[in-house]
Structure 1
Amino acid sequence: MHQMNPDMQACMDACHECHVTCLHMAMNHCLEMGGQHAAPEHIKIMADCAQICEVAIDFMARKSSHHQHICRECAEVCRACAASCESLDGMEDCVAACRKCADACEKMAA
């Protein structure tokens, strides 16, 4: 069996954590809180973040030659999501997951 590059595995793990955290927080905490938490632009960036993380995982798992620019885009979306979550109460877990994922994806994109 082929071994996964440890940096790539760490990035995939960070993407998975970010995907699950963003989806869970958006569909539960944010919608329940309402107000700015449920604002369309905030929910959209969280959904974008969850999806690009899933796409990045798939590209890395396949060892696609395109994974670097997907990871670069993932890092950008994760940073935008972290910025959106940062100003809202109770979103610390999402901010942390997004930043960790962005850092890991930037490393993969280099």
Structure 2
Amino acid sequence: MKNEAMIDACLACFAACEMCATQCIKLLSEDHLRCIALCRDCAEICALCVKLEERESEYSHHAMRLCADMCSACAEECEKFATHHSHCHECARACRECAEECMAY
């Protein structure tokens, strides 16, 4: 049985991470390099979780545990910039929600 709440959270997180990484790249600041890297990694694992869940992979739960860890790390990094950049604030929020859904799986 597919976990629609997790799929929705992963898709929202994927979009927020892609947007955040793109906006941070435009800042041309070395301070945001880790944020960019984590956002890109987080977006990829979120997409993978959706794919595995949609194909009912027996390994979905393994990917979701990793996704929860990566989302938490990305949220923590984005929160460092959240007061100055709305894209970082939104990304951190989406990452926290995704981590919660993946941990509940």
Give the structure-1-normalised TM-score: 0.86
Question: Which letter maps to 1:17?
Answer: A
Residues 1-40 of structure 1: pairs in structure 2 closer than 5 A: 5=2, 8-27=3-22, 29-35=23-29, 36-37=31-32, 39=33
- The 2-side partners of 1:34 and 1:103 are apart by 31
Runs ≥4 in structure 1, deviation > 3 angstroms?
none
Determine the structure 2 residue equivalent to 1:100: 97
- The 2-side partners of 1:9 and 1:79 are apart by 20
Stretch of structure 1 that moved more, 83-92 or 11-20: 83-92
- The 2-side partners of 1:74 and 1:86 are apart by 18
Q: Secondary structure at the match of 1:63?
A: coil
Following superposition, the deviation at residue 44 of structure 1 comes to: 1.1
Q: Deviations over 1:48-94 (max 9, x none)?
A: 00000000000111111111111000000000000110101211100
Residues 1-80 of structure 1: pairs in structure 2 closer than 5 A: 5=2, 8-27=3-22, 29-35=23-29, 36-37=31-32, 39=33, 41-80=34-73
Structure 1 stretches lacking a partner, 5+ long: none
Give aligned-pair identity as a percent.
Answer: 35
Structure possessing the higher radius of gyration over alpha carbons: 1
Give the structure-2-normalised TM-score: 0.90
